[in-house]
Amino acid sequence: MGDDPARLYRLDGVAHIAGVINKEPQRCIRSMRRQQGMRLDDRYVPYLQMAGLYHLARLNDRWFRLDEALVSAFVERWRPETHTFHMPFGECTITLQDVAYQLGLPVDGRYVSGCLSEFHIYIEGGRPAWVWFQELLGVIPPPSQVQKYVVNCNWFQETFGECPEDADDDTVRRYARAYIMMLLGMQLFADKSGNRIHIRWLPYVAMLEKLGTYSWGSAALAWLYRCMCRVTNRHDVKWSGYNPSGSEKGPRVQMWRLRIDRCPNKGEFLLQFIWMPYSSPDVLQVVHPEVLEPRHMALWRSVTALIYFSVIEWHQIDRVLPQFGGVQPPPHPALNIDFLMSKDGRGGDRWFPSTLQKWHLLWDSRQDCVLRFDVVADPGPSHAFLDWWSQHGKRFLSPETQLGDPRAVPIPVEASQRGPG
């Protein structure tokens, strides 16, 4: 790819949703709201705590309002080649720190990988898929509820929705396994169907006591990155246009786009971007203590591979040092991993730690990839970064007539005081 750090090789890709804003300025993403529909029985809690999934299960009890117009405005700024949002003032992204604070998921641990179905070939003590399913869950779904290696989630809910009051320990374990499969498949790693559970989770629920040794946080972020990259492709996602008969999503997308474009300029559209939102004492009082263990916190600064079975993504926090209190210099060249972006696990079952060994080994050496840099009182982009960004970044998406031309705004004086980064 060359050593030119100015090169953003997919900056103006024709398939990116940002490339059609002028033609369709009011396009808004249409979300699919999911909630794992099984009741959290108190008897499952010890298993969820061992797995590091209890905080996620508690979140499942709520519905969260999604501002689809705001999400759409950020999707327009997501760049698959850098895994960052391209903002007027520089780059920012969703990091392992965000996953830890927001979802309470463990970050350090083994990668979440393996194979999709042929467990008896690759896993010691594994069984053929449906034999293992019956052994672990005590029942086989009827053929009408199965499509290859996925099971209808409604069947899961009807079969395991209520654990009997007089259930023995083995029965509770079976119901806890089903609950965890639903939690993973419907909430943390949901696909766009929103109504099916993959049996890839059988080897994991077969060893409930070891679930806590896995890095659910890094796997969740890998899947989020992959979904974000897919949703930026205007051909690969459900978008809804503006409906003048009632929907206000289209104009609100334009409003949010303009507010982001004007950030952080002062005026009626003022938005404030906080580089380190978790440094507030109010946040630290309510955060899950487990995520603040040093072994987890160290990985927030690790430039490493993120793994979720065949999904390999890249934790590029070297491009967003201000989110960790540092000064951002001009970045290294964008890493071209398009060949990994095309992999979805189809085309025959494989043992991914072998077929994608290089990237799994990178995760194994994650502690060696932790960045060291000075934490300063005024984190942000350096003058050199902003000079580079003004020339090469995708800074503004709104029409110039709406912007009031902030392109003419000089680089802030305080940026030159932060040093080179």
Q: How confident is the model at residue 371 (pLDDT cuts 50, 70, 90)?
A: very high
Q: What is the pLDDT of residue 245?
A: 38
Helix or strand run (H / E) with residue 294? helix 294-299
Of residues 253 and 342, more confidently modeled: 253
Token pair belonging to 303: 């430039």
Give me the mean pLDDT over the 75-96 stretch: 92
More confident residue, 203 or 229: 203
CB 140 within 8 A of CB 181: no
The fraction of the chain above a pLDDT of 70, given in percent, is 81
Pairing of strands 146-147, 150-152: antiparallel
- d(CA 305, CA 303) in angstroms, rounded, equals 7
User: What's the predicted TM-score (pTM) here?
Assistant: 0.90
pLDDT attached to residue 32: 63
pLDDT surpassing 70 at residue 408 = no
295-322 pLDDT per residue, tens:
999 999 999 999 999 999 999 999 999 9
Res. 243: pLDDT tops 50: no
Judge whether residue 242 has pLDDT over 50.
no
pLDDT value of residue 244:
41
Angle between helices 129-137 and 169-183 in degrees, nearest 10? 130
Weakest mean pLDDT among 21-25, 222-226, 266-270: 266-270
Q: How many CA atoms lie within 13 A of 193 on its CB side?
A: 11
State mean pLDDT over 327-338. 82
* Cβ count within 10 A of residue 102: 16
